[in-house]
Amino acid sequence: MTADLCAIEEQRRDEIVVLWLRGEIDLSNAGAIETQVLARVEGEPRPRAVVLDLNEVEYLDSAALAAIERLTRRTRLHLVLAPTAVMHRTIMIAGLPHLTPVHDTVPEAVAAAADVD
């Protein structure tokens, strides 16, 4: 079910992990997605920061938002979400930008993540 609904692809750029999420995250798979992201966040070598690309996420519910919120407490999380992204309004309304930086593109997010000491 998780595989059907949402795919995760990973790229490492130096000490930064970029995770590209595609699909839908809801009550049925939010827990599993969270676990998969955490495995990368806490795996060795431990990344300095994690960039979560949400531009191609087509659906998020409050279970998914709560999972992202929990991730912000476990690692330095940077979100990628262009104003044109489908879930842009939902994520803004949920107030995630107050918790963690949000960028328009992956290169911007990676640059910002690398800048931090």
Taking CB under 8 A as the rule, does residue 5 contact other proteins?
yes
Count of residues binding other proteins (CB under 8 A)? 20
Find the binding residues for other proteins in span 27-46 (CB under 8 A). 27-28
Taking CB under 8 A as the rule, does residue 70 contact other proteins?
no
Taking CB under 8 A as the rule, does residue 89 contact other proteins?
yes
Can you give the chain as a three-state secondary structure string? CHHHHEEEEEEEECCEEEEEEEEEECCCCHHHHHHHHHHHHCCCCCCCEEEEEEEEEEEECHHHHHHHHHHHCCCCEEEECCCCCCCHHHHHHHCHHHCCCEECCHHHHHHHHHHCC
Binding site for other proteins (CB under 8 A): 1, 4-5, 24, 26-28, 59-63, 65-66, 86-87, 89-90, 93-94
